[in-house]
Amino acid sequence: MFSQALQDRTRREVLQLSAAGVFTASLSGWMPLLAKAPAKGNRTKSCILLWMDGGPTHKDTWDLKPNSKGAGEFKPIKTSAPGIEISEHLPKIAGLMNHGVIVRGMSTPEGAHGRAKYYAHTGYREGQGGITYPSMGSFVARENGRVDASVPNYVAIGGRSYGSGVLGPKYQPLMVQDAGKGVEDLKAIVSQGQFDRRMSLLQEMEQAFGKEYNAETILDHKTTYERAVKLMQSPEAKAFDLSQEKSETRSKYGSGKFGEGVLMARRLVEVGVPFVEVQLGGWDTHQDNFARVKSHSQQVDAAMSSLITDLKERGLLDTTLILWMGEFGRTPNINTRGPKPGRDHYPKAWSVAMFGGGIKGGQLVGATDKEGAEVIDRKTSVQDLLGTVCEVLGIDYAKKYETSTGRPITIVEKANPFTKTIM
Amino acid sequence: MRTLRSALALLLLTALFAISADTAFTADTKKELKQAAKKAAILEKKKAAEAKKPDPIKRPDIKADDLAKVKPLTPAFLGTKGDTATVAKFVDSQVSAKLATAKLTASPLCDDSEFLRRVYLDLAGVIPTASQARTFLDSKEPAKRAKLIDDLLASPNYAKHQADLWSNLLIRKNSDNRKVDFTSFTKWLEKEFAANRPWNEMVNEMITASGEQEKAPAVGFFLSNNGVDKMADEVGKVFLGQSIQCAQCHNHPFTDYQQTEYWALANFFVKTTAGGLNTNKGQTPGVQEVNNLKRNKKNELPESYKDVPAKFLRAEAPKMTSTEPYRPVLAKWLTSSTNPFLAKAMVNRVWSQLFGVGIVNPVDDMRADNEPSHPELLEKLAADFAANKFDLKHLHRSICNSDAYQRSSKKVSGNADAEELLFARATMKVLTPEQLFDSIALATGFSTNEGKGGKAAGGKGPGQNARTQFVTFFLSGTEMSNTTEYEPGIPQALRLMNSKPISSGRAVQSLSKADSAKAIEELYLGTLSRRPTNTELSKMQSFLKNGTTAEAYGDILWVLVNCSEFTMIR
């Protein structure tokens, strides 16, 4: 609907133009248009963020220290990448380690969940600048998404989202609470003709109201409805329907909500969605760390390995970056406060993992000391990580956006990416 | 110390060079020395970086006793007791004065239909029925707006709406209290708001309540925020308008709240405990304050602040014995009419609920360097509120009767481009999920039950579960909706467009369709609280020629419920 040039204007300007009736003619084009098929040739890269909510332990997943004080109950196993060992409860992933990179030197200042999650998603501290910064899903959606895409360019499955902040409702994620149920109310319950009549009448009312009051909220409401209608009419919406997958595939990914979410993420990337976030919660293991991490690891192992293999089969692995991360790691020492041993918050040293996206797999970036407590090589900040993610996805992280407040923001500030090591 | 370290590092490095030339050392020793040197070098670098970092906030060397104290409030009536008219005039003179200084023109007063819908939603939390709308719009009474305000404040829906607003602020569901049912707390709030219980008395009860939930429902506040730190956070934010929560772990980054002050406030709750939270096992949740309460995760002060005496925020430390309850001591200071924070925080919050924007923003961050847009207005309104014994209905009544509140939201050339509105015109607000649900239920149910509106009061209508599910769905993960931004996304739009109750056209079955003009008017009045314009009427009448009559009316209702005008307060 909007030309690319108008895309970058501030919302205020858009509203002024709207009031002047500039968009009147094109507004009548609310009638559904079939989404244009993705251009053949160079496909922009997608990102699947596997968000491990609660601060996943690094010493019991990607960075085991069997000779340390708080070594824990798990044993490290060899992987398909020489020199790299990971948790015994991630065996399938171990077999695919040659496609992946583990970043063991993450080190950040935020140890409180809310603040740390915001920081990890946006690269900015909560409260900084007095604005809400956009989550990585939103800026990837903006940079790598097609303007006329019928499926939103950012989908968040299972869990809350760190949304678009100042970038506005256009880049808000489509939230899917339960992948098994798909997107509810996707189909009209009246006939196509009746639905079209309703939409046409609605659009006339909106135009008149918008002209009279000229408020930003009205434009946001229209944008949301337009996106919803577009989604209803699109063939790509079938990506949300997991019943179209064979039952063997569904069990391969795992029967839980996370497995279903990861399968849906694969389907969404297949129809060109540039950013999908799938959440697996419950990593805040102050108590009963080992039983819980084992069960979570099993879910991750099944889903993530299936995802990597399926994407490879479909020739999509090189253009899809899979990022496994949480908001911080957990203490190298084990707490025995409660009946079942646990680990507490630990942002000083933690791990994330990256697969696909064209990276040179089988590598480690950064290292921690014998205890897994201090980063002794290549300390990596959130900005370094997000900067690297941008570069892998072909995004200029130093790019600035104008916002509706008039104040420009940079996608990622102060980044020292490690892309050269892994591409 | 630094020079010593550098010397050490240098020594090690020198030794390393010397060693590598000497084959007498084993490879293992070489490796160890190399690692040690590396570690020393890293530590050295770290220290250098720390020394270079500037302290971002120039904090004076403040001792706990000397912390800058805040001036107590002096309660003072603006006119006489309960004098709505004088307060409303005062609001207007203050707002107009600032507009004049800023050279902004005020938009005209809103028309009757704008006022009608706005005040119903702001005070009763739901739109009027078609009949209620017609009555108001056709009334020729000169003081009908003031009368409507009085009627709404006296209605049961006022209390329900306030209970909705305050439940969202006071109840925090988390893993700790997930099995607790907070219905008794919400019902208590509703009862108190209906009786217009003085706000400071309500706060007093929420802070000091003890006993089982069913007998002492105000304990719900502590059950929501079970822990000395959580209580300090929420008491600070919600009652005092002070966001001190950052000062829990370090001195506040943006203001001068210190960790000692934070833990001194938290200290008032060290003897309070919640129990019986596992209702699955048939337990009854409750709260007690006991002496010699065992130290646990919830009442533990950090090691370095263990001996900090309990102290009022920016005021004195009261003398308390170890055997007396602490909470009443805090409550006495907090709910006194001279408390420097309580009245201002409430006035600011009520103002922001009615105008969409507070006099201080954000409303819970009323720190010294976050200036109010209208300092004298805030000060005197707070003084009047306190003098009127924290009478909430008086506050609502006064503000709603002002011209400032009744201004249109339409832009005029004298304020269209204003960066800071200063209340030159009303801000368009978005309905909260609760308001939206209740209004849709009313609009699609064609309730003839005028008094109760769409709220599930015991009459027929969607059950409480449907309402809770809808509200949760519309919040989609956020704690509270934002009334000045349109936040719902695609799933919410899909629900409004395609869900059966709105989409099926069942709602228009009882509509009398003999006279199309009358029927269309009924639909408009029952949704947008106004009559259609002539243009709209003829457009709708020609639309009726599509499909069957029943279908077409259903479509019109669908459009009226899905449009921006319905989901917003213009």
Instruction: Kindly report the nearest CA distance between residue A200 and chain B, in angstroms.
Output: 9
Mean pLDDT to the nearest integer, B345-349 = 98
Chain B CB within 8 Å of residue A174 CB:
yes
Chain B residues 109-138 within an 8 A CB cutoff of chain A: none
Tokens representing B430 are 């978005």
Q: Do the chains contact at B477 and A161, CB–CB below 8 Å?
A: yes
Quick one: pLDDT at residue A162? 80
Segment among A224-238, B88-102, B473-487 with least mean pLDDT? B473-487
Which residue, chain included where needed, has tokens 């966001």?
A: B243
Residue B212 has pLDDT above 90, yes or no: yes
Residue B16 has pLDDT above 80, yes or no: no
One-letter amino acid of A247: S
Confidence of residue B50 (pLDDT cuts 50, 70, 90): low
Segment among A244-253, B178-187, B389-398, B557-566 with least mean pLDDT? B178-187
Beta-strand relationship, A320-325 and A350-356: antiparallel
- How many CA atoms lie less than 13 Å away from A182 in the CB half-sphere? 19
Task: Tell me which of A240 and B30 has the higher pLDDT.
Answer: A240
Quick one: pLDDT at residue B426? 95
Distance CA(A163)–CA(A141), nearest Å, equals: 11
Collect contacts of A304-307 with beta carbons under 8 A, ≥24 apart: A304/A50, A304/A92, A304/A93, A304/A262, A304/A355, A305/A92, A305/A93, A305/A95, A305/A96, A306/A249, A306/A252, A306/A253, A306/A254, A306/A259, A306/A262, A306/A263, A307/A48, A307/A253, A307/A262, A307/A263, A307/A265, A307/A266
Task: Tell me which of B119 and B551 has the higher pLDDT.
Answer: B119
Distance CA(B39)–CA(B300), nearest Å, equals: 36
Task: Tell me which of B487 and A387 has the higher pLDDT.
Answer: A387
pLDDT tens-place string over residues B531-543: 999 999 999 999 9
- ω into A56 cis (within 30 of 0): no
Measure the CA dihedral B500/B506/B508/B511, to 10°.
-150
Mean pLDDT to the nearest integer, B210-231 = 92
Quick one: pLDDT at residue B179? 79
Burial state string for A80-103 with b = 16 or more CB within 10 A and e = fewer than 16: ebeebbbbbbbebbbbbbebbbbb
Number of CB pairs, chain A paired with chain B, less than 8 A apart: 129
Of B489, B494, B543, the CB nearest to A172: B489
Chain B CB within 8 Å of residue A152 CB:
yes
Segment among A227-236, B44-53, B258-267, B328-337 with least mean pLDDT? B44-53
- % pLDDT > 90, chain B: 59
The full 3-state SS of B176-244, as one line of letters, equals CCCCCCCHHHHHHHHHHHHCCCCHHHHHHHHHHCCEECCCCHHHHHHHHCCCHHHHHHHHHHHHCCCCC
Query: What is the complex's ipTM, to 2 decimals?
Result: 0.81
Would you call B426 helix, strand, or coil by DSSP?
Answer: coil
Distance CA(B375)–CA(B380), nearest Å, equals: 9
Report residues of chain A scoring pLDDT below 70: 1-42, 130, 404-406
Q: Is residue A278 within 8 Å of residue A51, measured between CB atoms?
A: yes
Task: Tell me which of B297 and B328 has the higher pLDDT.
Answer: B328
Of the candidates B155, B147, B146, the one whose C-alpha atom is nearest the C-alpha of residue B125 is B155
Mean pLDDT to the nearest integer, B159-174 = 91
Which residue, chain included where needed, has tokens 């996106």?
A: A227
Average pLDDT of the residues of chain B: 85
Quick one: pLDDT at residue B367? 84
Residue B19 has pLDDT above 60, yes or no: no
Which residue, chain included where needed, has tokens 């102050």?
A: A286
Of A152, A185, A217, the CB nearest to B485: A217
Confidence of residue B175 (pLDDT cuts 50, 70, 90): low
pLDDT tens-place string over residues B226-275: 889 889 989 999 999 998 876 766 666 556 677 888 888 999 999 999 98
Determine the distance from the C-alpha atom of residue B26 to the mean position of all C-alpha atoms in its chain, rounded to a whole number: 68
Distance CA(B239)–CA(A150), nearest Å, equals: 46
Burial of A209 (0-12, 13-18, 19+ CB in 10 A): buried
Q: Is residue B522 within 8 Å of residue B510, measured between CB atoms?
A: no
Query: C-alpha distances in angstroms, B68 versus B7, B75, B317, B434?
Result: 45, 22, 13, 42
Residue B203 has pLDDT above 80, yes or no: yes
Q: Kindly report the CA angle at B498 between B495 and B502, in degrees rounded to 5? A: 90
Distance CA(B190)–CA(B8), nearest Å, equals: 70
Chain A CB within 8 Å of residue B43 CB:
no
pLDDT tens-place string over residues B451-464: 333 444 333 455 67
Segment among B23-27, B63-67, B233-237, B319-323 with least mean pLDDT? B63-67
Quick one: pLDDT at residue B253? 56
Confidence of residue B326 (pLDDT cuts 50, 70, 90): very high
Chain B CB within 8 Å of residue A2 CB:
no
Quick one: pLDDT at residue A309? 98
Chain B CB within 8 Å of residue A407 CB:
no
Distance CA(B201)–CA(B239), nearest Å, equals: 12
What residues form DSSP beta bridges with A50?
A278, A324
Residue B24 has pLDDT above 70, yes or no: no
pLDDT tens-place string over residues A334-381: 998 888 999 999 999 999 999 999 999 999 999 999 999 999 999 999
Chain B CB within 8 Å of residue A19 CB:
no
Torsion angles phi and psi, residue B171, rounded to 5: -100, 125
Quick one: pLDDT at residue B53? 55
Task: Tell me which of A158 and B277 has the higher pLDDT.
Answer: A158
